[in-house]
A = this chain, B = another copy of it.
Amino acid sequence: MTCRALDPAELRSALEAAGWRYTRQREAVYRILSQVEGRHPSAEEIYQGVKDSIPNISLATVYKALEALEAAGVVTKLPALGAGDGSARYDARADHHYHLRCLHSGRVEDLPTPYDPDLLARLDPELDRRLRDQGFHLTGYRLELVGYFGEGASHGGETHDEAS
């Protein structure tokens, strides 16, 4: 259900096809992002991770790399939602999917449910038709299950809330 991360050659192709150059900074940012499978780090967290391989990279370069990767269609930006530190999260998955969002920590996780391109048609066929008639081009759905993990409940030994 998860399509595997692009290898460096594929990433290069994706960048160049979109008119961007292939650099080790962009490769490193993409690698960090695809390594944290199912989680979604902030630009700052990516920056910290990339510094292991490129110690003198700057945060601005991380932002610019994320912009290039998003324009190349290999990364998706998940805007902040108020919880946590208010920073955007990033997602290296190429396929559409849904998210689980924790209201306590701001953490976002992937859901293992298959993405349904015809969700609207299933939900409300008449609205689906009406929107198309009005010329609306539906490019995708953004579905998040919003909630939080209760204190008493176990979750495989993992803690789902981060700071604050």
Contact = CB atoms under 8 A, between A and B. Distances in A.
A142 B103 CA distance: 12
Given A79-B80, A143-B143, A148 B136 contact: yes
A9 to B, nearest CB: 29
Say how many copies of this protein the assembly contains: 2
Interface residues of A, number: 40
A137 B150 contact: yes
19 contacts: A77-B82, A79-B81, A113-B124, A113-B127, A114-B124, A134-B156, A135-B149, A135-B150, A135-B152, A135-B153, A135-B155, A136-B145, A136-B150, A137-B149, A138-B145, A138-B146, A139-B146, A139-B147, A143-B144
